[in-house]
């Protein structure tokens, strides 16, 4: 078994983590936490989400956060925002972002709940976005790739079918998301293996929620399958507002701890990152579920 020598840590806390916090987080606190994670070595991060604040009031300050963060970042920092539609992409680009995550679900029911349209409509808009914004790095988060709260287990055949259509739009960066945390290591190995067989020129990124305590085990399965990009969240915050039963994400600090123990490079200073976790603990009214951060809690 050959494991990757280095992986890319994609921090999604300021987007996927913060969006489920009910108390509005002050903008300056969001910026401070983001900057602390950048200082710790995080170089790829979803820093916010350009969604209708009617549905996610926590993200009403998206443009302000993006502009403040992008003022002074390392040259190799990649800032990304999530946008569920064309208008969101336009707003993200206007705020100075050059990387955008677009969301499509692998199950019809969740796509309707999440973005109020069917999958084909989402894919059609994706093609239009790619044509209008050919100069930005457009990536796709394929939600419910392992299971749906409304339809149950999602077949790998369906995942590949939708990925084929995404690739037809000219998108090569796709993240397979375990939106409600129901995946298991064997399923991860099978899905990633099938995807790599169908698309030998690409390796998908992975995003796991830790609903059933298998987030780290699933990341390990992804490593053994050759995956080198994982989306995780500071403190294990998070959950999908439109997916009943979705718990927090796999904690970034727990993955960093595992990778360090396995001598897999990630270029993040764990001690400095834990200081960012402490900022989250002290400034955000939400429970942290990360094992490492809980163990080191004063």
CA 120 to chain centre: 22
Given this model, what pLDDT does residue 238 score?
Answer: 80
Given this model, what pLDDT does residue 297 score?
Answer: 62
124 CB neighbour count, 10 Å cutoff: 14
Given this model, what pLDDT does residue 292 score?
Answer: 86
Task: Indicate the pLDDT class of residue 242, thresholds 50, 70 and 90.
Answer: low
Q: In this structure, what are the phi and psi dihedrals at residue 103, rounded to the nearest 5 degrees? A: -110, 130
Burial of 204 (0-12, 13-18, 19+ CB in 10 A): buried
Task: Indicate the pLDDT class of residue 294, thresholds 50, 70 and 90.
Answer: confident
Nearest residue to 160 (alpha-carbon basis) of 192, 130, 184, 128 = 192
Burial of 280 (0-12, 13-18, 19+ CB in 10 A): buried
How many residues can be counted in the chain? 298
Q: Which residue has the tokens 């190799």?
A: 76
Q: Give CA–CA dist 156/169, Å, rounded.
A: 20
Q: In this structure, what are the phi and psi dihedrals at residue 199, rounded to the nearest 5 degrees? A: -125, 75
Nearest residue to 34 (alpha-carbon basis) of 50, 14, 15 = 14
Q: pLDDT tens for residues 168-218?
A: 999 999 999 999 999 999 999 999 999 999 999 988 999 999 988 999 999
For residue 265, list its beta bridge partners: 6
For residue 175, list its beta bridge partners: 141, 205
Q: Give CA–CA dist 292/171, Å, rounded.
A: 35
Given this model, what pLDDT does residue 114 score?
Answer: 86
Helix, strand, coil percentages (3-state) for the chain, rounded to 5, are: 45, 20, 40
pLDDT at 98 over 80: yes
Q: Are 130 and 170 in contact (CB under 8 A)?
A: yes
Strand, coil or helix: what is 252?
helix
Given this model, what pLDDT does residue 262 score?
Answer: 97
Q: Over range 58-79, report the average pLDDT.
A: 97
User: How do the domains of the chain map onto residue ranges?
Assistant: 8-295
Q: Over range 91-96, report the average pLDDT.
A: 97
177 a catalytic residue: no
Both tokens of 133, joined, read 């914004």
Q: Which helix (H) or strand (E) holds 225?
A: none
CATH 3.20.20.70 assigned to domain 8-295? The reply is yes
Q: pLDDT tens for residues 254-274?
A: 999 999 999 999 999 999 999
- The more confidently predicted of residues 292 and 157 is 157
Of the chain, the percentage scoring pLDDT greater than 70 comes to 96
Task: Indicate the pLDDT class of residue 244, thresholds 50, 70 and 90.
Answer: low
């Amino acid at each position: 078994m050959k494991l990757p020598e280095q992986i890319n840590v994609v921090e999604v806390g300021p987007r996927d983590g913060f969006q489920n916090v009910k108390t509005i987080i002050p903008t300056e606190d969001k910026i401070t936490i983001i900057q602390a994670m950048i200082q710790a070595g995080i170089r790829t991060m979803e820093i916010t989400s350009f969604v209708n604040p009617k549905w996610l009031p926590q993200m009403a300050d998206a443009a302000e956060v993006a502009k403040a963060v992008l003022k002074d970042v390392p040259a190799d920092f990649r800032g990304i925002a999530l946008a569920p539609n064309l208008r969101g992409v336009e707003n993200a680009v206007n705020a100075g972002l050059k990387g955008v995550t677009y969301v499509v679900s692998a199950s019809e029911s969740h796509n309707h709940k999440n973005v109020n349209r069917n999958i084909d409509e989402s894919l059609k808009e994706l093609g239009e976005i790619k044509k209008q914004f050919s100069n930005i790095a457009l990536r796709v988060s394929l939600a419910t790739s392992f299971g749906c709260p409304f339809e149950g287990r999602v077949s790998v055949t369906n995942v590949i079918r939708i990925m084929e259509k995404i690739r037809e739009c000219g998108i090569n960066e796709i993240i397979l998301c375990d939106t409600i945390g129901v995946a298991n290591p064997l399923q991860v190995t099978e899905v990633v293996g099938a995807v790599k067989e169908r698309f030998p020129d690409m390796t998908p990124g992975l995003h796991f929620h830790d609903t059933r305590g298998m987030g780290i085990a699933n990341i390990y399965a992804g490593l053994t399958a050759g995956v080198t990009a994982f989306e995780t969240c500071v403190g294990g915050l998070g959950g999908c507002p439109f997916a009943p039963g979705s718990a927090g994400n796999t904690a970034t600090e727990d993955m960093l701890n595992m990778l360090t123990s396995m001598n897999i490079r990630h270029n993040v200073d764990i001690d400095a990152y834990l200081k960012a976790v402490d900022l989250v603990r002290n400034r955000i009214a939400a429970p942290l579920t990360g094992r490492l951060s809980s163990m080191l809690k004063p």
